């Protein structure tokens, strides 16, 4: 029995169209692109988009299916994973979201819908450590993020990295998951730095 991938928010705020397209393939530069399990890498990722972006994606091509306020794209990203778009009423407002769902799991779409509503209905804005790291990855330009290669210890190879200015050393890469709280704060935009910590769902 396989475990369903964790459902995770990967960007804070509402993604504009160019940001949305960048996040459609956030892991394009990974070193083992042909050998890894891309389904578990993408399935479960979600972020908020605007109404115009939602409607644009609906008009691009006929959806694979429409279920109430949700629709799925015909083009699969990898295996059985495709884009699902949601229009959800949260706190008396209609908001729009994109998520990657593994359609081989019949419950994946409903599980994501409920997870988005639960996450976005919290009364106080807060972020988990994982959400902070995912936002840093999503918002860092491709030139300044990458993957640990052959020069890294074997256990670190393939893990995500981001560049930091290292003074006389110039820019040095750091493992994303190993960043300290101070390094995370330095990489986040000011309006996100001091949000309270949220318990992981």
> How high is the pLDDT of residue 148?
86
Q: How far apart, in whole angstroms, are the C-alpha atoms of residue 168 and residue 95?
A: 46
> How high is the pLDDT of residue 31?
61
Q: Please give the model's pTM, rounded to 2 decimal places.
A: 0.79
| Spatial contact of 51 and 62, defined as CB atoms under 8 Å apart | no
Domain segments of the chain as ranges: 8-120, 129-193
Residue-wise pLDDT for 78-124, tens only, equals 888 999 999 999 988 899 999 999 998 889 999 999 999 988 887 56
> How high is the pLDDT of residue 94?
94
Confidence band (pLDDT; 50, 70, 90) for 2?
A: very low
pLDDT at 185 over 90: no
Inter-CA distances, 109 with 71, 103, 105, 168, Å: 10, 8, 8, 49
Confidence band (pLDDT; 50, 70, 90) for 195?
A: low
Of the candidate ranges 2-11, 20-29, 140-149, 192-201, the one whose mean pLDDT is the lowest: 192-201
Residue-wise pLDDT for 157-168, tens only, equals 888 888 887 667
- Give ∠ CA 23-188-90 in degrees, rounded to 5: 60
Share of the chain above pLDDT 90, in %: 27
> How high is the pLDDT of residue 127?
80
Q: What mean pLDDT is reported for the chain?
A: 83
pLDDT at 200 over 60: no
> How high is the pLDDT of residue 98?
95
Confidence band (pLDDT; 50, 70, 90) for 71?
A: very high
SS3 197: strand
Q: How far apart, in whole angstroms, are the C-alpha atoms of residue 3 and residue 191?
A: 35
Residue-wise pLDDT for 22-48, tens only, equals 888 787 767 665 545 677 778 899 999
């Amino acid at each position: 029995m396989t475990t369903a991938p964790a459902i995770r928010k990967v960007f804070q705020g509402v993604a504009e169209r160019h940001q949305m397209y960048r996040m459609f393939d956030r892991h394009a530069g990974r070193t083992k692109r042909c050998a890894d399990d891309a389904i578990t890498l993408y399935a479960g990722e979600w972020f908020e988009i605007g109404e115009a972006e939602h409607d644009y994606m609906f008009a691009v091509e006929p959806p694979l299916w429409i279920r109430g306020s949700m629709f799925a794209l015909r083009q699969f990203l990898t295996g059985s994973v495709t884009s699902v778009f949601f229009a959800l009423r949260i706190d008396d407002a209609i908001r729009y979201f994109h998520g990657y769902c593994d359609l081989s799991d019949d419950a994946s779409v409903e599980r994501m819908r409920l997870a988005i509503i639960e996450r976005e209905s919290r009364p106080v804005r807060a972020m988990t450590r994982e959400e902070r790291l995912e936002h840093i990855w999503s918002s860092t330009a491709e030139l300044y993020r990458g993957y640990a290669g052959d020069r890294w210890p074997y256990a670190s190879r393939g893990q995500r990295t981001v560049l930091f200015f290292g003074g006389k050393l110039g820019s040095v890469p750091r493992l994303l998951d190993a960043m300290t709280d101070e390094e995370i704060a330095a990489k986040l935009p000011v309006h996100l730095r001091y949000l309270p910590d949220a318990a992981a769902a």
